Each structure stands twice: as structure tokens, then as C-alpha cells.
Amino acid sequence: MAMGVAVCLATPFILVSCGGGGGGGSSSEPNFNVEPLGTQSLSIPEVNDIVARAVQASISRGVQSTIAVTDRVGNVLAVYRMTNSSPSVIITSGLSGANGRGLDGFTPVPSELAAIAKAITGAYLSSTGNAFSTRTASQIVQEFFQPGETGQPSGPLYGVQFSQLPCSDLNVWLSQNATIGPKRSPLGLSADPGGFPIYQEGRVVGGIGVIASTDAGTQGVYGLDRDILTNEVDLEEEIAFAALPEAFRAPAQIRANRITANGQTFQFSNTTPAVAGVAALAGNGNFVAVTGYKTAAGVIAGTSYGTSQSGYVATTAPAFNGLNTFTLITNPADNTSVRFPPTAGANLTQAEVQNILVEGMKIANRARAQIRNPLGSPAEVTVSVVDLDGDILGLVRSSDAPIFGTDVSVQKARSALSFSSAEALTDFTAIDAGNHAAFANAMDTFFTGQASSLNGSKAFSARAIGNVHRPYFPDGEVGTPTGPLSSPISQWSPFNVGFQLNIVTNKVLGTLTATTRAANQFSPPAALTCVDDVNIPAGRQGRFANGMQIFPGGFPIYKGDTLVGAIGVSGDGVDQDDMIGYLGVINGATAVGSTMRPFPSTLLTANELSNSGEFLKYVQCPQTPFNNSSEQNVCPAP
């Protein structure tokens, strides 16, 4: 998640944890060093208590709310709709030029879906070492960082809001595999204040999300904070925070406001309200079922992360002994039902895939995390490898890596694969019957005189893709050209970023209706893909099955000049992500005597493409990246 140093077009931030910062918190602050696994989970009485406090907090503030609670892996434990709450929201950034474009201005969106997205975001972005809220998310996905400070580079996780999509083939529907995660989010990750993680004894056990309105006739708003400098109080944020008793609030030491970016603190909440009283649930509203997310009205208990019921379990394969790795499973009754064990692909052997994952995790365990307290903690990440067709050949993760990185790591790998392939321009033009061809064609225009940039002659990393998917090129420099994959700044918003969103918009909007959700909630992942891909050959549709990602941590994998797959990494720092993926392939190749590399032998890499003298950046590894080592310059140039 964290940022890199200011070299070329890399995202110019280094995140460090700090002991200071405001934010209040529980009266007794638990030890930093909380083991990630425990037996904690939300019980039915605890969920009822949280909802009842959110209802009381809403009543005392004169609004009606829709309240959602999830567990850590995205299972929806409760959705409660107060009697006169608005049934829908409008998605809006408040930017007039973006209205009616992308998702900006779209309505109606069911309020319960917006509340679920907020709750999932709080749970998915957090861990035992960091607690991020939807306000934090708002801060890190906008065109400037900090939002409101013109002329700064874009947010460090620019584009992450379009992950965990309801069309993702990695995340699962409600009843596909009972309680296992990661579950899908109705609207991806939310940047609208009013969503928080829920903790017990220092461990993430879930999230809460709130959508509020004055009455049923006043539509709710699903937006974001466009200017964090004003420090205004958000009612939905107050209600969600007031619903959490002290024992369920994030430990103060790991809240976002204890982590700084280039000397500036992140935000967790603009207010620390007192814990609300408990309102009667009968007579103030009702628990509701939500098609595709919750089968029946009422409350269910959460799952304990790390147990088979959660879908995340410790890896038992001997190759990963001692590496603190977890894997996904398909059957909560069978810990051996590994969903993505290291598997051979058309051009990668099982040993090659396995050793990429092993060596990637070795690097992660040595690396200094960038968004995790205490200082000196190892990076916790998800590492995935995909085949040339986009199929997942292997996926492992650190035990406490944030859940959002599971889906994002695969998005990064598939993005690097797609952009580096000989079929890139053909496939991008085919998506949605060619409606987005202008973005792909703009790449060639942008790099005039440097030959086609989307014909397989150049290798693209996720970082390089992000360089050309910002509303300014170079990033943050006002008055410079728009990146060829971005919406122009006059039309841009976090709900209208350009190519990344446009290719998945139809599928995301299509899952907002109850009918479509009902049709898909029992479908296997292979039945879904995140783009309209009827014109893409079946062997390549998997490249787009969970959307694309546009921040660092993904690389194509080559043997010589032959593209054979890709790697994606997501977790505790985007420079760390780059390093773990890059060195994971190089070291994995050495371990088995393979010719694999995260760059081609003689073909060009994207860092040799330039516009007006500004070059793209292919890889950026951290300065002094390893704990207990002063080693520098650890990543060899491509």
C-alpha cells in the first residue's frame, strides 16, 4: 500500500509509522505485537448490540440509517434498515464535469449495497498492524495527495476503489461456498466516510458501514471527502463510530492517523464520538435480507479468521514451511481443498510457479513493512502468479496481510499480462464492442514515433500502466497532458477515472439489480467476468475476469522474449510490492535453474517509453528495504 521514492514517475511517498498523532481510542491500549490469529469473532448478541447503538446514534442526530455489519472476510452478518430511511443513494463526487460519466451521478443504488461496501472496506483494508477506514480510503484514491492540495501526485492507492468488484472471479458470492471468503463488495472499495473496521483484542473481526438520510424521501449520497483540510464532521462517520463500544474500536496505535506519508498523516476519523446507548430494534426498523449478500433477514455470527470456515488457512505444503503463509480453500469442511495450489501452466512448470511464490514470501519476510505498526514489522502481502490466459496458477499470502490484497494481487498480475501481450490492442478494442478503443488508440498517439506500444513489443508493469492512467502526465503536474488511459481532468472524478473503470462499468452496474444478483449468487466464478468479452477469444477472457489495477506491484514474466505469465503482489507498501514481485521471479528462477525474468531479454520495457522527455517507470524498489540490513539498490535494472 505504501508509496515509493520520487524517482521519475514513481509515486513519490515513503510511508513510515509514527508513535504520535491524535485520534483518541480505548482507555487501555493493547500491545502492538498482537498475533494475527485468535478465536475472536462477532457473536449474534454482539452484532445486535452494535446495530442497536447505531440506531440510537442515528435517532439522537435526527436521521434515519441503513446499517451493515460484516466479518473480516466479507460475510454480511446483518443489514438493518430504519423505518424511514432512504431506500437508495446517488453516487456522486460533486464534480459537475464528471456527472453522468462512469459511475458518477448514477442512481438509484440500493442503500443496503452502499452500506455493505463501506463495512467491507473497513474490514478489508485493516490488519493487526494498521486500521484504515473509508475516510482513509477517500484520502488515497484521489487525483492529489493530500486531497485539496493542488499540484501533488495522485493518491498512493489510486484505482484501488475498483477492486473487490461484484463481477470478480476471485471473490465469491453469498452461497457459493457458505462462509468462506473473500466475499465480493457491491461497489468495490468505498471512499465514502462512514465505514470502520471492528476489532476485538487487537484483531480485525469485521466492519461496519452506515448510510443516513433525513427521511425516506431524501435520497442518500454515496460520495467522498474532496477536501480533507476542512476537517468537517460527517454524520454517517459519527454514527458508525458511535456504534462501536471501546472494546470494538481499533487500537489507537495502529489507526491511520498514526501512520504518515512523507510527513503528512493519514486520517481515520474526523471525530471520536462517545459510544451511543442501545436503542430498541423493534419498532425502529427491521433487519433485511439482501439478494446475493444475505439470504435471510436477521443476524448471523461472524467467522473467525484463520479457521476453515473463513476460507483462509495456514499453508501445509512443505515448500512453504516456516514462511508464515496462508492459502485459500474451497470447502470449509476440508482444510486441504486448496483453491490455488502451485500448478503448471502452458509455459510455466509447477516447480517454477511454486518457487516464485516461495521466494516472494522469503523477500516479504525480510522486507520492512510500510503501513504497519510497530516499526520494523515484516511486510505482509498476497502473491499470485497467472498463466498466459489469465488463469491463477498459484496464490499464497502472509497470515495477516490485508484481505483486499487477495483480489488486487491478481488484478495487478493480469493487468501487466494484458498490456504486455501481443493481443493487447486487439483485446482492448474488442471489449464492450469497441466502445473503449479510443483509450487504447490514445496510447500510440501519446508515444508518437516510438512504434506501437500495445503489440507485445514492450513490457508493461502495473506501475508503468499507472503512470499513463493519471489525469496529469507527469503525475500531479497541473497543466500537463492527460494520461492516455485517464479521463480528462475536466471530466475526471474518483468515480470516472477512465479506462480501468469504463471497461467494467456495465458489469458493475448490472449487479446492482436484485434480479441479476439472484441469477448470479450461486454461479461458479468461471461463469463471470468483469468485462463484456464476447469478442475476445475464450482463451484470453480470463485476463479480464476481475478487472484491472493501476498501482504498482505487477510484472509480466518472460522466458527470453516470450511472455509466459505474470506475477502480482499486494499488501504492506507498493514499493515493497514491486520488490517482492520482481525479486520473487528472479530468485525463483535461480532456485530451479529457469530462464524466467520479470522483463524480456531484448524487447523494450515501458521505462523506455516517453512523452515530452518524461519516461515511464517500470520498477521502484524501496531504499534500505530489509530489516537488520543496510543493503541498497536490491533490484537489478531490467
User: From CA 154, how far away is CA 144, in angstroms rounded?
Assistant: 4
Residue 116 pLDDT exceeds 50: yes
With cell 465514502, the residue in question is: 192
Give the sheet arrangement for strand 264-265, strand by strand: 15-17, 259-261, 264-265
Least confident of 48-57, 267-276, 305-314, 434-443: 434-443
In three-state secondary structure terms, 122 is helix
**Cα distance between the two ends of the chain:** 23
**pLDDT average, residue stretch 512-529:** 71
Tell how strand 259-261 and strand 264-265 pair up. Answer: antiparallel
How far apart CA 299 and CA 284 sit, in angstroms, is 16
The residues, any chain, with a CB within 8 Å of residue 576's CB and separated by 6 or more, are 2, 364, 367, 368, 369, 370, 379, 381, 569, 622, 625
Same CATH topology for 40-302 and 335-420+550-615: the answer is yes
Percent of the chain with pLDDT over 70: 92
Question: Do β-strands 64-71 and 562-570 pair in parallel, antiparallel, or remain unpaired?
Answer: unpaired
Question: Which of 297, 294, 301 is closest to 76 using CA atoms?
Answer: 294
Cα(595)–Cα(360) distance, integer angstroms? 17
If pLDDT is split at 50, 70 and 90, which confidence band does 548 have?
very high
Please state, in angstroms and rounded to a whole number, the distance separating the CA atoms of residues 167 and 318: 34
Q: Is the pLDDT of residue 7 over 50?
A: no
DSSP per-residue string spanning 247-280: GGSPPGGGBGGGEEETTEE--S-S--PPPP-PPP
Where on the phi/psi map is residue 345: left (φ > 0), alpha (ψ -120 to 50), or beta? beta
pLDDT tier at 525, thresholds 50, 70, 90: low
Q: Cα–Cα distance between 226 and 145 in angstroms, integer?
A: 11
Q: What is the 3-state secondary structure (H, E, C) of 182-222?
A: CECCECECCCCCCEEEEEECCEEEEEEEEEEECCCCCCEEE
Average pLDDT, integer, range 520-542: 77
- Residue 441 identity (one-letter amino acid): N
Q: pLDDT tens, 571-583?
A: 998 999 999 999 9
pLDDT for 546: 95
From 259, 169, 253, 204, select the one nearest 70 (Cα to Cα). Answer: 204
pLDDT tens, 198-229? 999 999 999 999 999 998 889 999 999 998 77
CATH entry, 40-302, from 3.30.450.150, 3.30.360.10, 3.40.50.720, 3.40.50.2300: 3.30.450.150
Which grid cell is 175? 452461497
Among all chains, which residue has been given the C-alpha cell 515530452? 612
Q: CATH fold of 335-420+550-615, please?
A: Beta-Lactamase (3.30.450)
Is it the case that residue 102 has pLDDT exceeding 50?
yes
The Cβ-side half-sphere exposure at 379, using a 13 Å CA radius, reads 35
d(CA 180, CA 172): 8
When pLDDT is cut at 50, 70 and 90, the band that residue 355 belongs to is very high
CA–CA distance, 252 with 30 (Å, rounded to integer): 9
CA distance 550 to 465: 6
**Mean pLDDT over all residues of the chain?**
90
Q: Domain ranges in the chain?
A: 40-302, 335-420+550-615
Model confidence at 15, in pLDDT bands (50, 70, 90)? Answer: very low
Least confident of 437-446, 557-566, 576-585: 437-446
Residue 390 CA to residue 413 CA, distance in Å, equals: 8
Cβ neighbourhood burial of 601 (10 Å; 0-12, 13-18, 19+): exposed
Residue 293 has pLDDT above 50, yes or no: yes
Summarised one tens digit per residue, pLDDT across range 415-433 is 999 999 999 999 999 998 8
Note the pTM of the prediction, 2 decimals: 0.94
pLDDT at 535 over 60: yes
Residue range 67-72: average pLDDT? Answer: 98
Residue 277 C-alpha cell reads as 446507548
Q: Are strands 458-459 and 604-605 parallel, antiparallel or unpaired?
A: parallel
